[in-house]
Structure formats: structure tokens, C-alpha cells
Structure 1
Amino acid sequence: MAKKKPNTSSEEEQAVLNYLRKVNRPYSSTDIFNNLHAKYPKAAVAKSLEKLVSQSLIVSKVYGKSAVYAPKQTEEAATADDLESLDTDLQSLTEKVDKLKAENKQLSQAVSQLQSTPTTENAQTDLERILQENEAFQERLRNLQQGKSRISDKDHAAITAEMDKCRNEWRKRRRMFQDMFKTVTEHMPGDPNELKEDMGIEDDVVPFDQDPLAL
């Protein structure tokens, strides 16, 4: 008695089986879903494929992270050419999946960049702020070109007082060093300047009695 072939139990399973038998080549679940023009839900197509595999009506092979499905052949064993063709198709499908993943990554990056772009309202606010800053810089530049004071009289007085304080301190320290060095080297043989050079002491380029800030 001939063995009774299992029957498909749904329209989706029959449509998937008929499609695979018609094209007679391996496809992924997503490709089958797309090639059937999304007539059936994606989950239903995937479920139908698994059931057809369990019924031995089609075969499944995992290549990398992708599973592909093909109609079961009537021959007892596939030829070397068939296997090579199948591997070629699998490689092509894998490359297609990798390409789609790369495109999806680029799309996600583009979406993220678009989301980080300021809105029209924010851009208008930033523009107004930049224009105001630019006007302030322009006004400062005009004042500088006309020789106008860049600081207030109060700030100018405070800076002048600080400068005088530092200048007096500088003079005091120079005088202390000159006196100490003169005392130490007064009775030493040789040139005191050679001693300075040996000790790495450098004199100020400005003469001691001259104001270093004088023009």
C-alpha cells in the first residue's frame, strides 16, 4: 500500500509549498514573504515553513545565521552540481542579508543624526543669539579701531594699582639679589659674571634702574 502524503492544513502552507515548488530554489523566510507580495502575515509564513519542514515536504538549511528553505527534490541524492548551485545561492542570500544589515545600520545612523538636528524653532533661537553676539563683537572691533578704552575707569585704576604693586615687588627682589650677590662675590677671585653663568643665573634683559614697562 502506498504511503499517504501528509496534507497541508492551511492556505498559507499550501501557498508557500506551491511557490517553492514553482521556483524550485532556496529562499529565506523574508524573501518568501516578500515574493508572495505580503499576502500572508510574516509570522504565518514562518510558521508554515517550519510545519512543512516537519512534514518533510520541504528542506531547511542554516547558513551562518540565516535559514533557507527549498522544495524537497524527488531524486534520491543531489548531484555535485546541485550542491554547488545550492551553496552559491546560499552565499548570495547571505551576502544579501549582510548588505541589508549594513543598509539598515546606515539608515539608523541617518535617523539618529536627523533626530539630533535642531528643530526650526531651536535653529531660529540659535540664529538670533549668534546675530546678537556678532553685533557685540562688531561693536567691540569698532571701539578698538577708534582707539576707545576697552575697560571702565574703575577696572583701569585697579589694574594700574596691581601693576604698580608688582613692579615695586620686582624692584625690591632685584635689589635684594644684587646686594646679596655683591656681598658674596666681593672678595672671591675671578669674574662674578662667570659665577653667574656657572650657576645658571640669568640677569633681566632690562637694566636694573629702568622701568621694564617704559616705552
Structure 2
Amino acid sequence: MSKGREGPAAGGGAAAAVLLRYLREQNRPYSAQDAFGNLQREHGLGKAAVARALEQLAQQGRVREKTYGKQKIYFADQEQLPAAGEAELRGLDGEIAALSGRVQALQQSCRHMEAELKELNGSMTSPEMAREIQELRSDCAAYAEKLERMKSAANCVTPEEKEKVCREQQLYRREWRRRKRMASELLEAILEGYPKSKKQFFEEVGIETDEDHNVALPAAV
């Protein structure tokens, strides 16, 4: 008669011992599937054996069990773990502080890189910049040519002539407004005793308004 298979995977108790030691050493939660995947190659544990062993350990109170939806996770009972010494706790505190400092430094570096990336994404590429420069040079050349034509023209308007035209335009605008106001006041006075509508009066007399011809007071220059 052949001997049974030796080692931790030979029985449920051996599987439970392997899993208990693993959960305590890792001190983090695992599902049955995760534990099976991590231990199967080294210890040859079957998936069903892992699930049964974890259930057994949880029933015995040697590990803790939590259910999330349809999945259960298992982790070492913290009260059953050996208490850490003062030196070990100080070492862990130092390691935590060092890791926290590293995390902050990495976060700051990420922020700097994100800001730089945003700036680069908003900048033109070298080909785009070359095209922009070429277009600006073409525009400058066209404006320079137009300016030279204007300077060399014989009918250029002098500053004095421009000032005179502006004064005359202002004078005519004021006169336009004054005469229009006088006409409106006169017509309103007539219409007070007129038995028909304003439109009928205008048609009978033959009055045409600025609005009839889409004429508006020019803007000041």
C-alpha cells in the first residue's frame, strides 16, 4: 500500500496551518481565490482545500472573515498577532514618515509635470510656429507696401484738412438734430387738432421721414 502524500497539502489541517501562517506573515486581507493563486505553486494546495481551510479557520476564530457582496475575504486576527516591541514600532514610525515624505515629494513633482504638460499642450508646435511667422511676415510686407502707396499718393489728406472736415461734420450733425426736432414739434402741434391719424396726415401733405428712406444720423468722427 502506497504512503499518502506528505507535506502541508496532505490534509485539511496542514492546509489550514499553511494559510494561517501566510495570513499572519502578510497581515493583509485575501479572498480564497487570491490565497489559492499565491500558494498553489509553492504548496500545491487545491482551490477547494483552500476555501475549506479558510472557512474552518474563520469558524475557529483564528482568522477574521468579512463579506463584500458575493465575495468573502480573510485576514489575521490582530489581537492574536504578537505585539510589536518599542524598537520595532519606532522603526515602523520612521518608515511611515519616510514614505509619507516620499509620497508628498512625488505628488508635488506630479503637479509640476501636469502644469508643464498643460503649458506645452497649449503651445504651438515648431511647424505651426514657422507657418505663423511666415504669415505674419507676409502681412507685414503687404501693410508696408500699402503704407508706401498711401504716403506717395498726391491726394493725401493733411491733419489740418482732416480737422476741418471733422468740425464741419459736427456742425452738420447738430443742425440735422435741431431741424428734425423743430419739424417734429411743429408736426405734433398740427396733429393735436387733426382729425385723422399721423400716417394719413403725412400721406396727404406728402411728408417723407428719414425712416422712410432708411436714413440715420451719421456717427461722429
Query: Which protein has the bigger helix share?
Result: 2
TM-score (norm 1): 0.38
Length-normalised TM-score, structure 2: 0.37
Higher-Rg member (1/2): 2
